[in-house]
Structures are given as C-alpha cells and as structure tokens.
A and B are shown apart, each in its own frame.
Chain A
C-alpha cells in the first residue's frame, strides 16, 4: 500500500500556530503579563515582553519577583498543556478554529510551585523553557528555567506539580 503524501509544510505550520495562539490568548492573565510563545516544532519558548508594569523595584530597577513567578508558571502550564494536546493537534482531532472561538481544552491546574530566584531580573525581555519531567494520568512534574541575555545565565528556575485535566466522564462501557 502506498504511503499517503505528507501534508504541505504551510498547512502543518498554520494548524500548529493557530492551536498555540488559541491556547495562549485564551488565558487573559498571560496577555496582562505580555507573555507569548515562540514555537520550533513542538518546542515552546515563553517570552515575557518587557513592560514598565512588570517592575518590582523601581530603584534598581528590577522585575517583580511575583511577575517572574507568574511568567514561569504560565510557561509551565502552557508547555504541559501543549505537550498533552500535541497528538490531537497533529491528527486534527482538535480543531484550532473551534479553539479560537473559545472551545478550549482544560489546562492543568497547579498543585504547588517552587521558585528559585538566582539573580535579579533586568528591565528587558525574559525567556523561559519548561521541561515535563514526568506526566502521568493524574499528576505531572515540570521544571522551568528562565534567562534574559545569556541562556546559560538563568535568572530564575522553578519546579511545580500539576493536576492533569481529566477526560470528560468515561463513555458508557456497556454492561
């Protein structure tokens, strides 16, 4: 049997980007922080675009520790949710058009989140990448690292545990 032809690159890209955009813009708080995501294949990088209102210490000046924590948490949740949704986005089971009009899948919920502040955040853009250390049916453990000018000079990192969204009530399995 002949293999079906792979989809054209722009179709694949368009579908993935639309799904990601719907997922991120569905979180009003991410917009408030000015957080968006770069995508390379399935790899995501969170970007917190600098804005005056993210300042916590006007004298240094430095980013607010709370803004940093929130950025890391948003990156962890979106990356974890994205990795869980990826197979359905690829098969087309999840329709980005439906997502864009607000029919969004549930995102994981934070159980706990521990932030390590390594150096003060400078008044400029910040980047973060999350790694899903383990993702089970109910719980997931995620590590996230954030940097500004140099990728190997992290200014904060965090580990968190998350409750995975449970699939809608299991379909009737029959008697």
Chain B
C-alpha cells in the first residue's frame, strides 16, 4: 500500500503541470485520491484580495480526478478527461493550502465517473466541487 502511494506520488510529480502548481498527493487507493496545493503568489487571480484563480483550482481537481480513476480496483491503464463541470462556492482564503478529494464512484468499460471537492482550512465549507467523466483506456 505504501508503495502504491509512493508510486502514485512520483507519477503525479512527473507531470510537469502538476509540479508547476506545487501539487502533492497525500492519499490514494480504491478509486479515491487526495491532493494538496500550497498557496502561491503566481496562482493569484485577483491581486487586490490575493484570492487564487479558479483555473488553478480546476487544474488541481482535474489532476485529482485522474489519480482517483487510475487507483480504481478495475484500474484502467491510463485516462483522459472527457468533461468536467466545476462549481465554485466561495473564494479560497488567501494564504491557505487547498485540499481536494476525488472519488471515482463508478467505472464502466469505457467511462469512469468522478466526484471531487476542494476545501481550505475551513473544511466544513467547500471552496469548489466538480463532477467529471473520464475515459477508460484498456490495458
């Protein structure tokens, strides 16, 4: 299990865009993945408030969904996003690390369905949620 996490972590870190965002995989297995993203100045969308751009949150959630799909027991070899719908509930609090949790709740022969949500330090109020469909590449 530890090895699986280690492998997945290295896999995520090998993705240039994921490492540019500073993404860190903290949990993975059975179709579930948790990724964190530290607050950083270059991710700011509104310089006046220092709030992170929605696009950075989308990129983080997209990566987390992909990781969840690949960790599903009926594990596909690889995956790509078909569609992702993101809902923004509130601005992420400036200075705080974001944590996103993805759940791949159903996999068919060709499509994997994923739900994901993101929080900051206030874990009771989501910053954003998303639902997506991903391809299932046969090995």
Interface residues of A (CB under 8 A from B): 26-33, 52-58, 62-67, 69-71, 73-74, 102, 104, 106-107, 109-117, 120
Contacts and interface: CB of A to CB of B under 8 A. Distances in A.
B62 A71 contact: no
Q: Is chain A's binding surface mostly helix, strand, loop or mixed?
A: mixed
B48 A69 contact: no
A32 B43 contact: yes
B81 A117 contact: yes
Interface of B: 14-21, 41-48, 52-56, 58-63, 66, 78, 80-88, 91
B17 A66 contact: yes
Contacts of B66: 65
B91 to A, nearest CB: 8
Contacts of B16: 52-56, 58, 64
9 contacts: A28-B53, A29-B55, A32-B42, A56-B18, A64-B15, A66-B21, A66-B62, A69-B59, A115-B83
A33 B62 contact: no
A51 to B, nearest CB: 9
Contact of A64 (B18, B78, B83): B18
Top 8 A-B residue pairs of the complex, sorted by shortest distance between their CB atoms? A66-B59, A70-B55, A64-B17, A29-B53, A53-B20, A66-B62, A65-B81, A114-B85
A74 B82 contact: no
A66 B60 contact: yes
A104 B47 CA distance: 9
A143 to B, nearest CB: 14
Output the residue of B18, B42, B84, B91 with the most chain A CB within 10 A: B84
A109 B81 CA distance: 24
Contacts of A109: 88, 91
A31 B55 CA distance: 12
Nearest to B63: A66
B41 A69 contact: no
A161 B58 CA distance: 15
A27 B60 CA distance: 18
A65 B79 CA distance: 11
A151 B102 CA distance: 34
A117 B80 contact: yes
Nearest to B89: A111
Nearest to B45: A29
Nearest to B84: A115
A67 B55 CA distance: 8
